[in-house]
Amino acid sequence: MKLVIVGEGPKLPLVKEKLSAAGIDYFSAANAQELRELVPTLPVLVYVPCDLPKFVLEPDYQKRAVSALHANDEIVFLMDAAKENTPYEFSLVFDAAIRAARMMRPVTVLSRTVRGSFPGAEHKYTQARDAGVRFIRYDDIEVERSVEGVYTVSVTEGTDTLVIETPCLVDCSPGSGPELLEIAKELRLKVYKKRYITNSRWFDHNKNTSRRNVYVLFDSDIGEDGDVGTLVTNLLSTQNRANRRVAMVDKTKCAFCYTCYRICPHSAPVPDLTARAMLIPEELCDSCGACVAACPANAIAWDEPLPNLPDMKPVLMLCCENSAYVAASAALDGLNVEISSMPCGGVISTMEMAKAMGSHSGILVAVCINGACKHYDGNLRAIATVGRIKKEIAELGLDSGRIEVLQVSGPMENVIRDAVERFEGRINE
């Protein structure tokens, strides 16, 4: 196996030794420019150094920066936005916050959790509060920057939202540097909150990005001996095609319209300029099916066809394999419902739904709740597709209530059973 390592850092030589010992060969790229010159389908490991801003690390720089602010300008330290900061980083930020507050400036520290495990934590908390530092915990955050350079920071905890305007936002979260955003642009990765290369989604491993085979390795996750946890296992497992479908493009049908290029949540399709058609490399396809459903020329299909939809069942339930299928398999035992798994709600198309409606009295499409789709917005595409189909059915004077959409998660067994029973009762009236 071969991969590309992007970035530079003191622990990387130890990491490379671990990879070599596992039989993984690598190319090195220092930045986005060098990455551009390497094979685009190779797995990529993006190294993120734990470099805190100069505002935190260099007291003289901080003093000059604070002196340039107006007396009432608030200084905001942002922690944990994309990944939790380490206790050591918290300790350094506390020192910087105390220094800034003692220069008679309002200071706020924003964090998802409060760390108390670093040496002298209780004493530093006391010092910071005595100096006037304000601590605010948050669940979610949005940051906007005006053309004048003023940041509007909206932090939410539960149902409460606080908005802070500041010309001095000290972003201490790993993965927010401009060089990383250049790498993300080159790799066509999703960027979260317009600032971060990764996202703290609870159901995603924090080393994964939006693109298959592109991993992020934070310096703080590397052990002293170069240990990288399950990363090596994850890299080697990508070579296994077992139980994974891949979307294939028929170049004789492809209109080269770039629809799949724009819609794919994992940035898998690439243009094949010699054939004037799109190409979906097996290494990049994450089997979500968005391109299969969206292709206007029907030029994209699975390399292995999906099983035929079952016939002659009163209700067909199309379930996302990552959420609803888990709940439905346990909850619907004993009901006269046919359950069919799909890789993502975004795979459904008008043609498939029309075919299924010809042999079933009703269709219930069950997809992920908002924010929980493994493929980012497949659930929203499914909801939109069902909405269009219902509208077309109604315009034909037919019963649009024969098809509905439901959003659930794996543990919501009672919710899914109640929804199916209500749906059956309605279509059988």
> Tell me: the pLDDT tens digits for 289-323?
899 989 999 999 988 765 555 554 678 999 999 88
- Per-residue pLDDT at 210: 84
Identify the H or E element spanning 61: helix 59-67
Tell me how far apart the alpha carbons of residues 97 and 262 are, in angstroms, rounded to a whole number.
43
Whether 307 maps to a domain, the answer reads no
Residue 219: CATH number of its domain: 3.40.50
Instruction: Note whether 152 and 207 are same-domain residues.
Output: no
Contacts by 99-104, CB closer than 8 A, 24 or more apart: 99/59, 99/62, 99/63, 100/62, 100/66, 100/75, 101/128, 101/131, 101/132, 101/133, 102/131, 103/63, 103/66, 103/67, 104/71
Q: Name the domain boundary from 171, 201, 218.
A: 171
Please give the span between the terminal C-alpha atoms of the chain, in angstroms, as a whole number. 59
- Binned at pLDDT 50, 70 and 90, residue 203 comes out as very low
Residue 294 belongs to domain spanning: 247-302
Whether 308 maps to a domain, the answer reads no
16-61, pLDDT tens digit by residue?
888 888 888 888 888 888 888 887 778 888 888 777 888 999 999 9
List, in order, residues 6 or more apart from 140 with CB less than 8 Å away: 155, 156
Per-residue pLDDT for 182 more than 90?
A: no
User: What's the alpha-carbon Rg for the chain, to the nearest Å?
Assistant: 25
Residue 113: CATH number of its domain: 3.50.50.60
Q: Name the domain boundary from 214, 237, 260.
A: 237
Instruction: Tell me the β-bridge partners of 125.
Output: none
- Per-residue pLDDT at 164: 95
Torsion sign, CA atoms 223, 228, 230, 233: negative
Q: Name the domain boundary from 199, 216, 237.
A: 237
- Per-residue pLDDT at 170: 93
Per-residue pLDDT for 236 more than 80?
A: no
Per-residue pLDDT for 165 more than 80?
A: yes
| Torsion from C-alpha of 241, 213, 282, 372, nearest 10 degrees | 80
- Per-residue pLDDT at 31: 83
- Per-residue pLDDT at 116: 64
- Binned at pLDDT 50, 70 and 90, residue 115 comes out as low
Asked if residue 174 lies in contact with residue 220, where contact means CB atoms within 8 angstroms, the answer is yes
Q: How many domains does the chain have?
A: 4
Whether 242 maps to a domain, the answer reads no
Instruction: Note whether 30 and 65 are same-domain residues.
Output: no
Instruction: Note whether 370 and 354 are same-domain residues.
Output: yes
Question: How high is the mean pLDDT of the chain?
Answer: 85
- Per-residue pLDDT at 73: 94
Tell me how far apart the alpha carbons of residues 25 and 43 are, in angstroms, rounded to a whole number.
11
Residue 290: CATH number of its domain: 3.30.70.20
Burial of 41 (0-12, 13-18, 19+ CB in 10 A): middle
- Per-residue pLDDT at 167: 95
Instruction: Note whether 331 and 411 are same-domain residues.
Output: yes
Instruction: Note whether 106 and 155 are same-domain residues.
Output: yes
- Per-residue pLDDT at 156: 92
Tell me how far apart the alpha carbons of residues 302 and 318 are, in angstroms, rounded to a whole number.
18
Mean pLDDT value of segment 355-383 = 88
Instruction: Note whether 89 and 198 are same-domain residues.
Output: no
Beta strands of 256-295 (E only): which ranges? 270-272, 277-279
Instruction: Note whether 410 and 373 are same-domain residues.
Output: yes
Per-residue pLDDT for 232 more than 90?
A: no
DSSP string, 216-233: EEEGGGS-TT---TTHHH
- Per-residue pLDDT at 230: 75
Instruction: Note whether 263 and 201 are same-domain residues.
Output: no
- Percent of residues, the chain, with pLDDT higher than 70: 92
Tell me how far apart the alpha carbons of residues 168 and 133 are, in angstroms, rounded to a whole number.
15
- Per-residue pLDDT at 75: 96
- Per-residue pLDDT at 305: 64
Mean pLDDT value of segment 228-241 = 72
Mean pLDDT value of segment 158-173 = 91
382-416, pLDDT tens digit by residue?
999 999 989 988 888 888 888 999 999 888 888 88
Nearest CA to 245 among 213, 289, 279, 296?
Answer: 289
Three-state DSSP class for 248? strand
Mean pLDDT value of segment 224-244 = 72
Mean pLDDT value of segment 326-341 = 85
- Percent of residues, the chain, with pLDDT higher than 90: 31
